[in-house]
Amino acid sequence: MNLRKVVITGYGIKAPKIDNKKDFQEVLKQGICTHQILTGAGPDGSNVVVGLIEDTFENISGKNYKRYTRVSRLAMAAADDAIDMAGLRGEDSNRVAIIIGSSAGGMLEIEKYSPYSADYRKLPLHSVALANMHTLSSAVASHLGINGQVYTVSTGCTSSSDAILMGKLLIESGMVDRCIVGGADASVSSWSIYGFLKLRNLAKNAEIGHTGVPFSDAHSGFVMAEGAGIIVLESEEHAKDRGTFIYGRLEGAYSNNAGFPLFQADIDGQSMIKAIQGAIGSQLPSYVNSQALGLQENDHIDRIAHHSLFGRNIPITSIKGMTGHAFGSSGAIQIISALISIEDNIIPPTIKTKGEGFEDLPIVKEIIHTKVDSVVITTHGYGGNNTSLFVTRYL
C-alpha cells in the first residue's frame, strides 16, 4: 500500500504577545521573552513568572463565545487563522477531520465554578460542557462548520504532537483528505500554580530571566504559559489540486510511552531516542527544536537523546525561553516555529541560558541565518508519552 504524502498548507497561533505569524516571526528573530510576573499568584502572596494572552477571544468572526471555555476560544481563534492561511474558507468540508490536543482542558472554568458544585442555584447551566474535555474539539468543529471525524487527545505535554501524528495517519491511509490538528491550553490557574510549586517545578519570586531557562543546571523551574497552535494538514495530491501554497511536509511522526509510574520519567532517554529515530529514520535534520523548558530532569533527557543520535554535529535549540511552556499545545507551536524557520532560513536562539551542565550540546544561543531543510521536534512529559515530529521543506 502506497501511503499518501502529508503536507502543511496553513497554521494559526495564539501565544503570549503573539497573535499571528508576523508576531511570531518577530519573537523568534529578535529573541524576545514574552513572560510576565503574576503578582501574588503563589502561596503567601508570592509571585510567579507566567506567559499570558491578553485577548479574551469572546467574539470570534462576529460570533459570541462568552460561555465557552477559554481553551476552546483560543483554539477557535487559531483555527480561523489556519483556515484563512490555507485558503479553505467556504471550501467543502467533506472528508475533513479535526483533532485537537490539550493537557488541562477547561481547568480555569472548573476551578472558577467548583465552589458552586454543591449549590444548585449558582451552578451555571453549561457546567457539564465546561468539564467535558471534548468540548474543545467539538467547539472548533461547530465554529468551522465541519461535521466529519472529530477527536480530542489528552496525553499531557505531547497532546498536540499526538494529534498531529493521528492526523497524519488518517490522511496517509486515505480516510480523509484534510485534517485540522494541533492543541490548546489555558491552564494558568491556582490549581496548576500551587500543584507545580508543590512538585518544585516552578520558582517563587524569581526574576523573569532567572526561571524558565532551557538547558541550565544553574536555574530551576519552568514558565507555564497559555497558547494554541492549529495546523492544516492535507494530502499532497489534494493540496496540489487546489493550487494552494505548501509550507512544508510532515514527513515523520512517532510516539511511545515509557510505561513508568506517575511523575517518574525515563531519565536515561531511551524512549525519547526511539521516538526521534522512529520519526526521522535514516535522515539527519538541519537542527532539533527541543521541548527543553527549564526542568533539569526533562532537559537532560533531550541532552542524552541528542548526544546519542547527533553528537555535536546537529544544532539544538528551544523556544521556551521566549514563549514559555504551553503544555499540550507546545508541539504544535514548535512545529509552527519550524515552518517559519524553514521559510525564513533561520535557526531561532535559545535565550536566557549559558548552558551550564549542558556543555556537550551544540546549543544555538544567537540566531543563525542558514538554509533550513528539516527540523526535528521533541515533546515528552507527565503521563510517559514521548513524541517526535519531523517536518521538512517542500520541494
pLDDT in tens, 53-92: 999 999 999 999 999 999 999 999 999 999 999 999 877 7
Cell of 321: 525561553
- Check whether 155 has a pLDDT greater than 80: yes
Domain boundary among 248, 270, 288: 248
Neighbours of 61 (CB within 10 A): 12
CA 100 to chain centre: 11
In angstroms, rounded to a whole number, what is the distance separating the alpha carbons of residues 209 and 215?
Answer: 14
Give yes or no: residues 154 and 87 share one domain. yes
Q: How far is 4 from 237, CA to CA, in rounded Å?
A: 8
DSSP calls for 170-223:
HHHTTS-SEEEEEEEE---SHHHHHHHHHTT-S-TT--GGGSS-SS-SS-----
The last residue of a domain, from among 211, 233, 248: 248
Same domain? For 228 and 153 the reply is yes
Has residue 282 been placed in a domain?
yes
Same domain, 244 and 258: no
204 torsion bin: left (phi>0), alpha (psi -120 to 50), beta (else): beta
Q: Which helix (H) or strand (E) holds 28?
A: helix 21-30
The three cell numbers of residue 7 are 503536507
Average pLDDT, the chain: 95
Is residue 236 included in any domain, yes or no? Answer: yes
Instruction: Identify each DSSP E strand in the chain by its residue range.
Output: 6-14, 36-38, 48-51, 59-60, 63-64, 96-101, 150-153, 178-185, 224-225, 227-235, 248-257, 287-289, 316-317, 346-347, 368-369, 374-380, 385-392
Within 8 A by CB and 6+ apart from 254, the residues are: 165, 274, 275, 276, 277, 278, 279, 387, 388
Quickly count: other Cβ atoms within 10 Å of residue 32's Cβ: 16
- The answer as to whether 176 is a domain residue is yes
pTM: 0.97
Considering the domain boundaries, does residue 97 fall inside one?
A: yes
Q: How far is residue 204 CA from its own chain's centroid?
A: 25
Q: Taking residues 255-262, what's their average pLDDT?
A: 90
How high is the pLDDT of residue 92?
A: 73
Is the same domain home to 141 and 231?
yes
Same domain, 118 and 243: yes
Residue 387: inside a domain: yes
Regarding whether 152 and 74 lie in a shared domain, the answer is yes
Closest to 203 (Cα-Cα) out of 372, 52, 38, 8: 38
User: Could you tell me the CATH number of the domain that includes residue 385?
Assistant: 3.40.47.10
Look at residue 383 in the predicted model and tell me its pLDDT.
Answer: 87
Q: What total of structural domains would you count in the chain?
A: 2
- Same domain? For 276 and 204 the reply is no
Residues 278 and 214 in one domain: no
**Last-in-domain residue among 199, 225, 248:** 248
Could you tell me the pLDDT band of residue 144, with boundaries at 50, 70 and 90? very high
Burial of 126 (0-12, 13-18, 19+ CB in 10 A): middle
- 244 shares its domain with 270: no
Residue 1 pLDDT > 70: no
Evaluate whether residue 369 is within a structural domain. yes
Residue 1 lies in a domain: no
What pLDDT is attached to residue 73?
98
Q: Does one domain contain both 214 and 298?
A: no
Which domain, by its residues, includes 383?
A: 253-392
Where is average pLDDT lowest: 59-63, 128-132, 305-309?
A: 128-132
- Residues 204 and 309 reside in one and the same domain: no
**Same domain? 240 vs 272:** no
**Domain assignment of residue 48, yes or no:** yes
Q: What is the pLDDT of residues 321-375, one digit of tens each?
A: 999 999 999 999 999 999 999 999 999 999 999 999 999 999 999 999 999 999 9
